[in-house]
Amino acid sequence: MVVFLGVALTLSLFGSGFLFFALESSKSQLSLLRKLNTDLNHEVTEYKAKNSQLWVELNKEKDLIEPGAKISWQDKQGDTNLGVVLDDYLLKDKPYVVVIRMKDNKTQGAPISIPFEKITIV
């Protein structure tokens, strides 16, 4: 009986030691996993920010012609008009330019839209 108790005590001590080292190992692994998770969250946040910045850059409106450019065009009567570009846009996949007419370096009337193919850059 004493031998049995001695063997049981020895086995329980070895088992306790094994469980202690396993617990310490799992604590260190858990600590490393938490640090890795924090680092990954930081990187994901950076990538999300960069991704949103790229989308903003990609979706920026591309001007067909720079605002402020001087242009000319012929009206329905065949007269040549001069103007300054304010903006451009697409309507039914056809580009248009918003222009303010100029005469003697002064603006004339309200802005008008002219099809892009009818203008000439001065």
| Ordered alpha helix ranges (H), 1-119 | 2-59
Residue 63's pLDDT band, with cuts at 50, 70 and 90, is confident
By C-alpha distance, which of 105, 38, 1, 21 is closest to 122? 105
DSSP 110: E
Task: Give the CA distances from residue 2 to residues 8, 13, 49, in Å, rounded to whole numbers and listed in that order.
Answer: 10, 16, 70
pTM greater than the 0.75 cutoff: no
Mean of the pLDDT values across residues 47-74?
83
Q: Domain residue spans in the chain? A: 1-60, 70-121
> Taking 70 as the threshold, does the pLDDT of residue 69 lie above it?
yes
CATH code of the region 70-121: 2.30.30
What percentage of the chain has pLDDT greater than the value 70? Answer: 98
Q: Are 35 and 66 in contact (CB under 8 A)?
A: no
Report pLDDT for 59.
67
